[in-house]
Amino acid sequence: MPCVVSDPTDRRRRPSGWHRLIGETRESLSMALDSVVSHKLRSGLTLLGIMIGVFSIIVVMTVLRVLDTNAQESLSELGPHTFRVKRTPPFFFSSSKERRKVRAREPITWRQCREVIRRAKLPISIGVEEGFTNGTVRSEFAETNPDISLRGVTPEVFPARVWDLEDGRPIQDADVDSSRLVCVLSNGLAKKLFPHSEAVGDRITFDGLAYRVIGVLEKKGQMGGDEDSFVAVPISTGLQRYSNPWVSLGIVVQAAGEELYEETVEEVRGIMRVLRRTPLGEADDFEIVSNDSLMEQFREVTFAVRAGVSVISSVALLAAGIGIMNIMLISVTERTKEIGVRRAIGARKRMILTQFIVEAVILCLLGGIVGVVLGVSTGNILSFFFKTPVVLPFDWVAYGLGICTLVGVVFGAYPAFKAANIDPIDALRYE
Amino acid sequence: MRILHELGEGLRIALEAVRAHKLRSALATLGIVIGVFTVTLMATAIEGLNNAFTNSISAIGSDVLYIQRFSWGPTDEWWKIRARQPITMAQGKRLEERATMAEAVSMESRANETVKFEDRTASGVNVSGVLASSAQVHGVDLSDGRYLNEAEVDGARPVCILGATLSESLFPRGDGVGEWVAIGNARYQVIGVSARVGNFAFGDLDNQVTVPLTRLAGDFVSNPEVTLTVKVGTDAPMEEVQEELRWIMRAIRKVPLGEDDDFSINNQQSLLDTFGKFSAIAGSAGLFITGLSLFVGGIGIMNVMFVSVTERTQEIGVRKALGAKYRAILTQFLAEAATICVFGGLLALALAWGATQVTKQWLPATISPTIATLALSISATVGIIAGFLPAHRAARMKPVDALRSE
C-alpha cells in the first residue's frame, strides 16, 4: 500500500498549495487504481453496470441524432438563406377551425409574383415555382409510374433549391418568355427514362405534350423519393396548360446573406401583405417557410417523445450509480483499518475524501468510456439501415463522460464522507 | 423434507444477513426497485396504448366486413386504385340477393348536414343513410323509441334516429321522439334516440343522425357511393364468407379473370394489424431500454452477493466442516439474493401501481395481474441468476481453505 511519509530530512521545504494538490491527486489516483486492480471481480461488475447505463444513454442519443439527421436531410430542400412563400403550411396539426381558415386563403397569383419580383430590393434572386400535376412520363425507351410531378419553375429556382446540373443547361429566361416546350429532368428520372443513352437533346412526353430535354440535374442527397422524380419545365409553359383560378404559386426568395435574412423576410412579407390587402393587425394569409422553420416544427412535434426517451434511457445509469455507492460503502468498511493508519500518520480528512471520490470516478469513467464506444457503434448500425451518414454525437459523448464523472462524484461522495469522518482511534481498533 | 428444511434454514440465515447489513441491502434493493419499476411502467404504458386503440375502433365490430372502394391500410401505388369506380346501391342490392353464407348484408352512405329544431341548431352533423338490416349488422342500442323498419326504408319515409349528443343539444329535456326536425332542407320525424357510444377514432358516432338510405339518396346525395357492411355470423368462418363476397362482387362489377379486385374488403383486424406492427416496434425498443436498468440492478445484486460471500468465508467453512452440503450453502446464498429481489419487486409494483393511478387520466391502463406476476417472476429470476455465481463459488469452497482464510 503506497502511502506518503514526508522525509524528515526535508522538513524545511514546505510544499506550496498547488504542489500539494497535485501530489494528493497523484497519490489518490495511484491508490484508487491499486484498489480497482486488487478487486478485479468487484470492480469489473461495477464497471459493467456503469457501462450499460452509459450505453443506454448513448445508444438512444445516437439513434435520435440519426433520425434527426435523416429528417433534416429530407426537409432541407432549400439553399442557404433561402425561404419560400406559400399559400398553405407544409405540416398542419391544429384545430379543424384553423384548418378551414387556411383552406379559405386566396391563391398566390402570377401577378402577385411579378409584383414581388418588381418591388423587392433586398433579395439577390426571386424564383417562382409550382408543382402542377402528377403523371406518367414516357421516353422512347421507358415509361414511369404516374407519380412523377411536373414542376413549373423560373431560372432563379435553380440556385435557390441548389439544383446543380450534371449535363445540359438549366431553364433560362428565354425559355420562360417564349413558353418553350423544354424540360430539365431529375437525376433518377433521367436514368430511368434513358437507361443507355444521354437524355439531353432527346424527347419525353408528359400528359400528351412532347418536351425536349435540355438538362439533367445532379443526384441530390440520399433521399430518393420525391426529390428525385420530377420534371421541371418553364413556369409559363406549365401555366399555359394547367392554369386555373385555384392554382397558387410558390415564391422562392434568396437573401443576400445571413445578416440580411431577417430583413429580407420582413420586406417580402410586407410586400405580400400589401399585394394581398391583408388588413393591419390581421395574421398573414400566406406562409413563410425555411429549412429552419421546418426543422423547428419537426422538433416541436417530436419533443415529447424525445424528452421521454431521454429520461427513460438515463434510468439505467441511476441504477448503476446506486451500485457504485453500495460497493464504495463496502470498500470503506473493509478498509477502515487502512484509513485509521493513514489518519494516524497525518493524512487530512480531505485526503481521505479525495481518495475515495477519485476511486469512484475512475470506476465510472472506465465503464463510461466502454459504454460510449459500444453505444455509438450500436446506434450507428441503425444509421446503416437508414442509409444516413455515420453520426458521432460528440456533444453526447462529452455529456456521457461528464455525467459519468458526476455520477462518480455524487454517489462516491457519501461513502467518501463516511470514510473521512471515521475517528482514527476507532478505525485502528476496528476488527 | 430435507430440501424444505434446508430451504427454511437458508431463508432464515438470508433474512438475518439482510438485517445485519441494512444499508447495503437497502441500496441493492433500490437498484432492483428502479429496474422493475421502469419495466413495469413501460409494459403498462404499452398495454394502455393498445387498449386505447382497440377501444377507439371497437365500434367497427370484430365480425363485420366492409366492402368499399378503397382499402383502410396504407397503399403504395395509389395511381393503380385511383380509377376504381364507386360502389353503387344497385350493386349492393345484387350482392344482398346473392350472398348466402353471411348472416346479414346491409349498406350505408354518409352526408354532412345541419340539423335544426325550432331555434336550436347543430351544424356539421353526420347523416348516415342505412337499411333496416343495419340493426343486425352493427347491433342497435336505443335509449328511446325504435329503429327503422323495412317498410320505412323501402318507402323512403322521412324518419330519423338521433345520436345521444345530438339529441341532447336539440332536445335538452330528452323528449325528441315524435317531433319533426329539419335536416338540411328536408323535414324528418324523430322515431328513436340511440344510446351513447363514446369515443371513436373515425368520427363522433353520438353526433350523428340515422335516416333510411333511400331517403338520403333522394334528399342529399344523388347516386350515393355506398359501403357494404356484412355481418359474418357464426355459420361460416370469416375467410370463407370473405372469399364468397369477393367473387360475387367481382361478378357484379365484371372484373375480368386475372385482374386485381377493383374494390377492397376491410375489417377491424387489418387496422389492428397495422397498429400492432407500430406498437410492437415501439414496445420492444421501450422494453429493451428499460430492461437495461433491470440488468444493471441485477449486476448490483451480484456484486453485493460476491462481497457477502467473501466476508463470510469463515462462516461457510464452519458450516461445511459441520457437514453442510453444496446444496445447503447454495440455497442459503440464493435465498439471500432472491429475498432482496422479490422484496424489491414487490416494492416496485406498489410504486408502479401508485404511478398508474396518476396516469390513469390519460391512459386507460392499470397494472394487470399478468404484468404483476411477470414483474415478480422476473425479479425472482434476476435474483436467482445474479445470486447463482456467488452462491456457487461459496458452496464449492473446500472447508479447509475456507476455515484458513483471513
pLDDT confidence band for A269 (50 / 70 / 90): very high
Average pLDDT value for residue range A235-262: 89
Cβ B303–A309 below 8 Å, yes or no? no
Average pLDDT value for residue range A18-42: 82
* B279 and B254 in a common domain: no
pLDDT higher than threshold 90 for residue B187: yes
Relative to beta strand B104-117, strand B227-231 is: antiparallel
Predicted local distance difference test score (pLDDT) of residue A93: 59
pLDDT higher than threshold 70 for residue A15: no
Does residue B131 form part of some domain? yes
* B298 and B225 in a common domain: no
B318-370 pLDDT tens trace: 988 888 888 888 888 888 888 888 889 999 999 988 888 887 777 676 778 88
pLDDT higher than threshold 80 for residue A92: no
pLDDT higher than threshold 90 for residue A182: yes
A222 vs chain B: nearest CA distance in angstroms?
20
B75-106 burial, b at 16+ Cβ within 10 Å, e below that, comes to eeeeeebeeeeebbbebbebbbeebebbbbbb
End residue of a domain, out of B211, B240, B262? B262
Does residue B227 form part of some domain? yes
Chain A positions touching B302 (Cβ under 8 A) are 45
End residue of a domain, out of B237, B262, B287? B262
pLDDT confidence band for B181 (50 / 70 / 90): very high
Cβ B290–A315 below 8 Å, yes or no? yes
A377 vs chain B: nearest CA distance in angstroms?
16
Length of chain A: 431
- B281 — contact with chain A (CB < 8 Å)? no
The ipTM is: 0.74
pLDDT higher than threshold 80 for residue B46: yes
- Read off the C-alpha cell for A110: 402570377
Does residue B72 form part of some domain? no
Domain residues for the domain of B214 are 85-262
pLDDT confidence band for A274 (50 / 70 / 90): very high
Mutate: best of B46, B303, B312, partner A, most A CBs <10 A: B303
Does residue B177 form part of some domain? yes
A389-422 pLDDT tens trace: 777 778 878 888 888 889 889 888 999 998 888 8
In this predicted structure, which of A132-146, A223-237, B155-169 has the lowest mean pLDDT? A223-237
Q: Bigger pLDDT: A126 or B205? A: A126
In this predicted structure, which of A217-226, A235-244, B158-167 has the lowest mean pLDDT? A217-226
Q: What's chain A's average pLDDT?
A: 84
Q: Tell me which residue in A146, A323, A327 faces B296 most closely, judged by beta carbons.
A: A323
Three-state SS for A308-354 is HHHHHHHHHHHHHHHHHHHHHHHHHHHCHHHHHHHHHCCCCHHHHHH
Predicted local distance difference test score (pLDDT) of residue A388: 67
Please tell me the distance from the alpha carbon of residue B364 to that of residue A115, in angstroms, as a whole number.
56
Does residue B114 form part of some domain? yes
pLDDT confidence band for A236 (50 / 70 / 90): very high
Predicted local distance difference test score (pLDDT) of residue A330: 87
Average pLDDT value for residue range B61-78: 82
Does residue B71 form part of some domain? no
pLDDT higher than threshold 70 for residue A222: no
Q: What's chain B's average pLDDT?
A: 87
* Nearest chain B alpha carbon to A135: B79
* B368 to A153, B188, B275, B343, B371: CA distances (angstroms): 59, 48, 21, 19, 5
DSSP A252-266: EEE-SSHHHHHHHHH
End residue of a domain, out of B210, B228, B262? B262
* Nearest chain B alpha carbon to A321: B31
* B352 and B280 in a common domain: yes
Average pLDDT value for residue range A146-172: 89
Cβ A326–B293 below 8 Å, yes or no? no
* B257 and B178 in a common domain: yes
* B131 and B42 in a common domain: no
Average pLDDT value for residue range B36-56: 86
A292-326 pLDDT tens trace: 777 787 788 788 888 888 888 888 888 888 988 88
* B178 and B258 in a common domain: yes
Residue B303 near residue A42 (C-beta atoms within 8 A): yes
B306 vs chain A: nearest CA distance in angstroms?
8
* Nearest chain B alpha carbon to A47: B299
pLDDT confidence band for B171 (50 / 70 / 90): very high
pLDDT confidence band for A1 (50 / 70 / 90): very low
Predicted local distance difference test score (pLDDT) of residue A20: 77
Predicted local distance difference test score (pLDDT) of residue A224: 40
Residue B334 near residue B391 (C-beta atoms within 8 A): yes
Say which residues have a Cβ less than 8 Å from residue B397's Cβ, sequence separation at least 6.
B313, B316, B317, B320
* B236 and B91 in a common domain: yes
A115-124 pLDDT tens trace: 999 999 889 8
* B217 and B199 in a common domain: yes
Average pLDDT value for residue range B142-166: 91
Length of chain B: 406
Predicted local distance difference test score (pLDDT) of residue A174: 93
- B30 — contact with chain A (CB < 8 Å)? yes
* B257 and B277 in a common domain: no
Cβ B290–A312 below 8 Å, yes or no? yes
- B34 — contact with chain A (CB < 8 Å)? yes
- Read off the C-alpha cell for B9: 434454514
* Nearest chain B alpha carbon to A144: B79
B243-269 burial, b at 16+ Cβ within 10 Å, e below that, comes to ebbbebbbebbebeeeeebbbbbbbbe
Does residue B67 form part of some domain? no
pLDDT confidence band for B1 (50 / 70 / 90): low
* B250 and B156 in a common domain: yes
Does residue B290 form part of some domain? yes
Residue with cell 414483474: B375
Q: Tell me which residue in B24, B30, B299 faces A49 most closely, judged by beta carbons.
A: B299
Residue A159 near residue A126 (C-beta atoms within 8 A): no
* B288 and B385 in a common domain: yes
* B295 and B256 in a common domain: no
pLDDT confidence band for A223 (50 / 70 / 90): very low
pLDDT confidence band for A94 (50 / 70 / 90): low
Cβ A145–B79 below 8 Å, yes or no? yes
Average pLDDT value for residue range B173-184: 90
- The proportion of chain B whose per-residue pLDDT surpasses 70, expressed as a percent, equals 97
Chain A positions touching B28 (Cβ under 8 A) are 326
B264 vs chain A: nearest CA distance in angstroms?
21
* Nearest chain A alpha carbon to B22: A326
